[in-house]
């Protein structure tokens, strides 16, 4: 198994929160204090946490979807057209390239390619599959709790600890070595 | 700090479920040790799979002659059952993708089971072309590739479209299903022990629920839903064109695509009800699958039943209005001919019985819905039988008319296909969380401290 990515000279803090609003507030405060690379954990796609707490905007996955679907449609048309031109065989006096019939193939290919490239886009952007050791993680985050993980150099460690304790976490774990997550 | 609207997500909160932990506890307990009832059902399903394989091997060894297929009825129970299962597959994506885009508040509790149903139904349907071709070792001819003189297949043929539509549908619905389960598999991983934990560790792909994962995941899910929505409508349209593109009286009509799509949703939702009622009871999911959910599905059945009934009437009217003797004869034969009973089963089960759903008391009675849903399933199978068999048996020339009687091998495969489907569905209920855990949490009020903090 691949090892976890250490962040040299940083220590890590994992705060487990029972409440959504505390998590959002903690994320906002961390951003305000200038922390950029921290992670929030949630048991559900919580849009308020993502948009309000972490100021997430568009996801590049949509580019993958569009590119995949357009490639699929083009492939479907190109494939059917090329095969009918490759061996011209007129049947029933119909045009060699029967566009309405080929729309069906192009449409199905557009959906297929679009869906598969959406998945590829998701995997690339979200870093999945991720079989590194589950270091900065708490199993309660798939149950009913939220979490925040932040790393800090020794000089800022105390400040981060104070900041997180301010939001009354249910548990505050300190690791002497921080990880990139 | 705008936390006041956090609870308002545009979905109806589920009043019976209080906390996130409760959702995990209630749903993950289903994955525990199966009881006697489950083993019994699983045994029956496994025996049925045996019947299915035995019948199929018998047909492979003796040839397609052991089925009742012959001129003029070359499409019989196999194609009927193929269309039936493809139709069943439609409600899963309808509930998971279309209702997701429409933000229907009742889909969360039901969509995982119906998506699983979709995937297994396509898996079942996909076997039937292989069975139907007879010489299964030539089934790879379905894949579009050039012959040894580099002549490609005819892409104007609806049967080639069908190959594209069904394979795309299977791939996309399987991907959509799997992707949706990943966060729940992570929840199962954190809950399980031993070998099970290893299993969930691998198939949850190391999901941690970080903001980065959720952010891209929720967007990807929307895009997939947006792709799956037109796909649902297209797949059964393409299946209907297998018929409508031919000049067989009774098939050659433009209403086939919407008629088939409505019928597919009708039968699919009915099967979701049939499966959800026992699931709810055996796994103690009453809190999650409430009467409200069943009523919503019943309304969907009501609507699609009305569309299907309207399509039947339109078919009769157009046959009469066309003035074409073969067309008129074909429909007269449907209602009063040799297969009159199949037609009347279809009309009763799909048109008459669902009329009871117009009563609110029936819609809110789970046992009544269970019975009605079984009627609908039977009716929808017969609908395809009527369309396929009666039309082929009564084409243009009277001397070319003929009858078809399914053989015992075909019956074995038909019954076996239900068991094959049940086999996978039963495995699903034990291995994957049968209700979407993460999405259920969206209809549970989030835990709030409720105190203003610095912002």
Q: Among B185, B223, B450, which would you mutate to test the A interface (most chain A Cβ atoms within 10 Å of its Cβ)?
A: B223
- Provide, as residue numbers in chain B, all residues whose Cβ is less than 8 Å from the Cβ of A91: 154, 156
- A127 to each of A93, A123, B399, how far by Cα in Å? 53, 6, 67
Does residue B279 carry a pLDDT above 50?
yes
Average pLDDT over residues B68-87: 94
- How far apart CA B44 and CA B42 sit, in angstroms, is 5
Count: domains in chain B:
1
Assembly ipTM: 0.92
- B220/A61 CB distance under 8 A: yes
Q: A141 at the B interface (CB within 8 A)?
A: yes
- Provide, as residue numbers in chain B, all residues whose Cβ is less than 8 Å from the Cβ of A181: 208, 210
Higher-pLDDT residue of B34, B317 = B317
For A18, residues 6+ apart whose C-beta sits below 8 A from its C-beta are A144, A145, A146, A170, B447, B449
CA distance A126 to chain B (A): 5
pLDDT > 70: percent of chain B: 96
Which of A:41-80 have CB within 8 Å of B? 41-50, 52, 54, 56, 58-59, 61-62, 65, 69, 80
CATH topology of domain A6-57+134-179: Alpha-Beta Plaits (3.30.70)
Residue B420 sits in a domain of what CATH number? 1.20.1630.10
Q: A130 at the B interface (CB within 8 A)?
A: yes
- Provide, as residue numbers in chain A, all residues whose Cβ is less than 8 Å from the Cβ of B1: 21, 24-25
Average pLDDT over residues B126-155: 90
- Provide, as residue numbers in chain A, all residues whose Cβ is less than 8 Å from the Cβ of B151: 87, 89
Instruction: Tell me whether the omega of the peptide bond preceding residue A129 falls within 30 degrees of 0, making it cis.
Output: yes
Average pLDDT over residues B240-261: 93
- A87/B210 CB distance under 8 A: no
Average pLDDT over residues A57-63: 89
Specify if B101 maps to a domain.
yes
- A108/B21 CB distance under 8 A: no
Specify if B5 maps to a domain.
no
pLDDT > 70: percent of chain A: 99
CA distance B115 to chain A (A): 16
- A108/B234 CB distance under 8 A: yes
Average pLDDT over residues B352-365: 94
- B223/A118 CB distance under 8 A: yes
Specify if B437 maps to a domain.
yes
What does the H/E/C string look like for B78-142? HHHHHHHHHHHHHHHHHHHHHHHHCCCCCCHHHHHHHHHHHHHHHHHHHHHHHHHCCCHHHHHHH
Specify if B66 maps to a domain.
yes
Q: What is the DSSP string of B316-350?
A: HHHHHHH--HHHHHHHHHHHHSTTHHHHHHHHIII
Q: Is B153 exposed, middle or buried (0-12, 13-18, 19+ CB in 10 A)?
A: middle
pLDDT at A127: 87
Q: Which residue of A has its CA nearest to B179?
A: A119
- B20/A43 CB distance under 8 A: yes
Q: Which residue of A has its CA nearest to B229?
A: A111
In chain A, where are the structural domains located? 6-57+134-179, 61-126
Q: How confident is the model at residue B12 (pLDDT cuts 50, 70, 90)?
A: low
pLDDT at A8: 79
Q: Among A144, A150, A164, which would you mutate to test the B interface (most chain B Cβ atoms within 10 Å of its Cβ)?
A: A144
- A19/B448 CB distance under 8 A: yes
- Partner-chain residue, chosen from A47, A105, A144, that has the shortest CB–CB distance to B161: A105
- Provide, as residue numbers in chain B, all residues whose Cβ is less than 8 Å from the Cβ of A58: 219
- A167/B453 CB distance under 8 A: yes
pLDDT mean across residues, chain B: 90
Does an H or E element contain A43, and which? none
- B223/A102 CB distance under 8 A: no
Does an H or E element contain A146, and which? strand A146-152
Does residue B1 carry a pLDDT above 50?
no
pLDDT digits (tens, 9 = 90+) for A120-130: 999 999 988 98
């Amino acid at each position: 198994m691949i090892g976890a990515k250490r962040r040299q000279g940083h220590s890590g803090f994992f705060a487990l929160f029972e409440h959504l609003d505390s998590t959002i507030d903690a994320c906002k405060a961390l951003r305000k204090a200038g922390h950029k690379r921290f992670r929030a954990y949630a048991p559900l796609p919580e849009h308020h946490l993502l948009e309000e707490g972490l100021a997430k905007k568009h996801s590049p996955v949509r580019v993958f979807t569009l590119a995949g679907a357009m490639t699929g449609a083009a492939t479907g048309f190109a494939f059917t057209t090329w095969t009918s031109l490759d061996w011209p065989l007129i049947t029933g006096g119909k045009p060699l390239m029967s566009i309405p019939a080929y729309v069906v193939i192009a449409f199905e290919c557009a959906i297929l390619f679009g869906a598969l490239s959406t998945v590829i886009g998701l995997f690339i952007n979200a870093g999945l599959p991720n079989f590194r050791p589950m270091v900065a993680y708490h199993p309660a985050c798939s149950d009913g709790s939220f979490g925040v993980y932040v790393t800090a150099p020794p000089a800022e460690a105390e400040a981060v600890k104070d900041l997180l304790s301010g939001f009354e976490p249910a548990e505050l774990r300190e690791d002497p070595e921080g990880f990139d997550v | 700090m705008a936390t006041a609207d956090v609870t308002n997500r545009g979905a109806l909160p589920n009043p019976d479920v209080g906390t996130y932990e409760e959702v995990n506890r209630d749903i993950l307990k289903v994955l525990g040790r199966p009881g006697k009832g489950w083993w019994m059902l699983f045994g029956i399903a496994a025996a049925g799979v045996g019947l299915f394989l035995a019948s199929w091997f018998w047909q492979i060894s003796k040839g397609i002659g052991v089925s009742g297929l012959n001129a003029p009825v070359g499409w019989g129970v196999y194609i009927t059952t193929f269309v039936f299962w493809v139709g069943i597959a439609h409600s899963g994506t309808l509930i998971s993708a279309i209702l997701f885009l429409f933000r229907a508040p009742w889909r969360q509790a039901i969509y995982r089971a119906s998506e699983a149903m979709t995937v297994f139904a396509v898996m079942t349907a996909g076997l039937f072309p292989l069975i139907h071709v007879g010489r299964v070792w030539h089934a790879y001819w379905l894949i579009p590739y050039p012959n040894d003189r580099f002549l490609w297949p005819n892409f104007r043929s609806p049967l080639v479209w069908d190959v594209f539509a069904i394979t795309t549908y299977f791939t996309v619905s399987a991907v959509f299903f799997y992707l949706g389960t990943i966060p729940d598999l992570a929840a199962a991983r954190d809950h399980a022990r031993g070998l099970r934990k290893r299993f969930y560790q691998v198939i949850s792909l190391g999901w941690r629920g970080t903001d980065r994962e959720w952010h891209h995941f929720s967007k990807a899910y929307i895009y997939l839903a947006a792709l799956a929505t037109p796909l649902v409508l297209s797949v059964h349209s393409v299946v209907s064109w297998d018929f409508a593109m031919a000049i067989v009286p009774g098939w050659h009509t433009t209403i086939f695509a919407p008629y088939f799509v409505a019928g597919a949703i009708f039968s699919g939702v009915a099967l979701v009800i049939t499966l959800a009622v026992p699931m709810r009871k055996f796994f103690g999911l009453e809190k999650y699958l409430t009467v409200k959910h069943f009523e919503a599905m019943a309304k969907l059945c009501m609507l699609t039943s009305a569309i299907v009934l309207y399509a039947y009437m339109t078919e009769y009217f157009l046959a009469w209005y066309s003035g074409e003797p073969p067309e008129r004869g074909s429909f007269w034969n449907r209602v009063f001919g040799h297969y009159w009973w199949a037609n009347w089963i279809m009309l009763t089960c799909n048109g008459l019985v669902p009329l009871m759903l117009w009563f609110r008391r029936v819609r809110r009675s789970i046992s009544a819905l269970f019975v009605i849903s079984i009627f609908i399933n039977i009716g929808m199978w017969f609908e395809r039988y009527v369309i396929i068999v009666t039309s082929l048996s009564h084409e243009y020339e009277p001397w070319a008319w003929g009858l078809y009687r399914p053989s015992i091998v075909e019956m074995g495969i038909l019954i076996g296909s239900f068991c094959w489907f049940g086999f996978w569905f039963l495995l699903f209920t034990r291995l994957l969380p049968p209700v979407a855990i993460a999405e259920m949490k969206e209809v549970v009020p989030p835990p709030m401290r409720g105190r203003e903090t610095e912002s």
